[in-house]
Amino acid sequence: MKKEILIAAALLALSACQKPGCEPLVTPEGESAKLPVRIVPVMTKVSETAFEAGDVLGVSIDRSAGNYATNAAFTYNGTEFAGELFWYAEGAEGAKVSAYYPYAAAVPTSFTVEADQSAGTSKSDFVAGIKEGVLPSASAVVLPFKHKLTRIVLKVKNNAEGELSAITLGGAKLTAKLDANFEAQADESADEGTLTAYKLDAETYAVVLPPQTVALVASVETAGGNSLAQVLAETALAAGKQYTINMIVNPKDLVVAFAGDIEDWENGGEIGGGDNTLIEQLDKGYITYHEAKYTVAKMKDGKWWMTQNLRYVPEGITVGDALTNVTAGVYYPLVVNAGQTALEFSKDVTVINAKGYLYQAEVALGLKVGDITTLEQAQALEGTQGICPKGWHVPTKADILDLVGKGAGATTNTEAPYYNGANGSIKLLNEDGFNMEAFGAISIQNNASTSGTFMGFMAAYKDHIASGMMCGSSQSGNPTYNTSGDPESGLKNIQFFGFMPMTNNASEDNYTCNGTNVSYRIAGALRCVRD
């Protein structure tokens, strides 16, 4: 099928005269003949293409007396569609003529668009036409066809270096339910998918999808390998309507605006931008949270985990770079100094992207330093979202033990997928893409401490950080109070069950990652797990 053409006359053949005792119709000239049904489908375009030789329509004819022809296949020969059926003889009785494209073995009750439309959208553009009261005649039946799905055209201004590798729209249902008149609506029971757009020219792409209410995710892959994404506002995409997305691709971000300028489709109006706090691209192995990209993986415990440490700074917080600032809430990551004699803070963007920030428990759990004042408050925070993305949470004790199996004061889960018979294994975790290492920590023992210390440097392993602690959300261990044994005197320290990666071994085969109790003023890295 090729672009912008008025589809040629179609030839149908239907005949009740093939039945015993049937008399053939008589033409106005008095000749005995079978009258073919000729159909001229009126439509200026079918997506970016028009019909090509070999394309097939499905045609049905229904009378008041019942069905006359069902799903007759008509093949395009370059000029017209032709079949082997003829009109019925009773010329005074009108019929309902319906036709659709693309052809299926049976009249379809559903239609699924292609996920990868990079080769063209025609196979995904379901069109149909219906006309009532059609009488047998030597004249062609003019049958108006309509697009039953939704088309989106993407106009792209690329300010990044090189050509774009791909443009996709994610979060859409790819299957439509069709009623008896071929009216389409997305099948809500169908899985969501990601559509790869067809490149019309250097600045124009297109996709076709079922009508639906959806908050799509527009994504581009740049030639340099960057993945940029933006969530669109939830919008009702209507059948037969086309929406234009104007995209500006910059080296580090994606700007999207929307308008509804239709050609042969109906005007779909305008769509605004959506909430870009979280964009999930699980099928691609990453999420975007507060405009930062994090790799994720579904581990063998069956849960989705961030495989990079969080590097989000909550509003109102200044990242700490001094051990005497014991209530900063968030601290810069740690590295081994140039002389390999101790740890130090690093403000290098590359290091921050690789290691994330270090969080005190209250901030990781979505609070401010000093907010937790009772044991009951701490216990109620198990499984909280905290500063993780919506739909994700700070790991619980159960999450940690189900993953690595072993933890301080806990019964070992020998069935955990990354338990090697002795410990939680960093090697096993990383073979499945967990990217775990020892990230260090800022050790602040309790709320009476006036200075912290760097945790994680060992002279025997001076080329890398050898230990660390990471945040969790399950209160664990016994709290201490300002007056020993007296809860009324106020909390002095309380602990949450987190990770403790250890790389203090000569062989990576022996690096461990077990659970441990982490004092709430200690600052450690944070990984989030999906609900």
3-state secondary structure of 487: strand
**What is the spatial distance between Cα 125 and Cα 345, in angstroms, rounded to a whole number?**
56
Query: Given this model, what pLDDT does residue 416 score?
Result: 98
Q: Identify the residue with better confidence: 157 or 338.
A: 338
**Number of other CB atoms surrounding residue 359 within 10 Å:** 30
Q: For residue range 426-476, list pLDDT tens digits in order.
A: 999 999 999 999 999 999 999 999 999 999 999 999 999 999 999 999 999
Query: Given this model, what pLDDT does residue 265 score?
Result: 59
Query: Given this model, what pLDDT does residue 284 score?
Result: 82
- What average pLDDT does this structure show over 125-133? 90
Give the E-state strand segments of 210-317 in sequence order: 212-214, 217-221, 227-231, 235-237, 241-249, 254-259, 266-267, 278-281, 286-289, 292-298, 304-306
**Residue 400 clears pLDDT 90, i.e. is over it:** yes
3-state secondary structure of 522: coil
Query: Given this model, what pLDDT does residue 309 score?
Result: 98
- What average pLDDT does this structure show over 499-507? 95
**What is the spatial distance between Cα 530 and Cα 296, in angstroms, rounded to a whole number?**
10
pTM value?
0.59
* Residue 375, amino acid: L
* Residue 97, amino acid: V
- What average pLDDT does this structure show over 412-419? 98
**Residue 20 clears pLDDT 50, i.e. is over it:** no
**Sorting pLDDT into bands at 50, 70 and 90, what band is 247?**
confident
Query: Given this model, what pLDDT does residue 137 score?
Result: 75
Antiparallel, parallel or unpaired: β 254-259 and 241-249: antiparallel
Q: Which CATH architecture has domain 10-147?
A: Sandwich (2.60)
Q: For residue range 330-385, list pLDDT tens digits in order.
A: 999 999 999 999 999 999 988 999 999 999 999 999 999 999 999 999 999 999 99
User: Matching CATH topology for 10-147 and 150-276?
Assistant: yes
Antiparallel, parallel or unpaired: β 241-249 and 150-158: parallel
Out of 87-101, 189-203, 387-401, pick the least confident.
87-101
Question: What are the sequence ranges of the domains in the chain?
Answer: 10-147, 150-276, 298-530
Beta bridge partners of 331: 320, 358
- Assess if CATH 3.40.50.300 describes domain 150-276: no
- What average pLDDT does this structure show over 284-307? 91
**Percent residues over pLDDT 70 in the chain:** 82
Mean pLDDT of the chain: 84
Cα angle 356-358-364, degrees, rounded to a multiple of 5: 105
Antiparallel, parallel or unpaired: β 37-42 and 10-12: antiparallel
**Sorting pLDDT into bands at 50, 70 and 90, what band is 16?**
very low
User: At a CB cut-off of 8 Å and minimum separation 6, what does 50 contact?
Assistant: 1, 2, 3, 4, 5, 7
Q: For residue range 49-72, list pLDDT tens digits in order.
A: 566 778 888 989 899 888 988 998
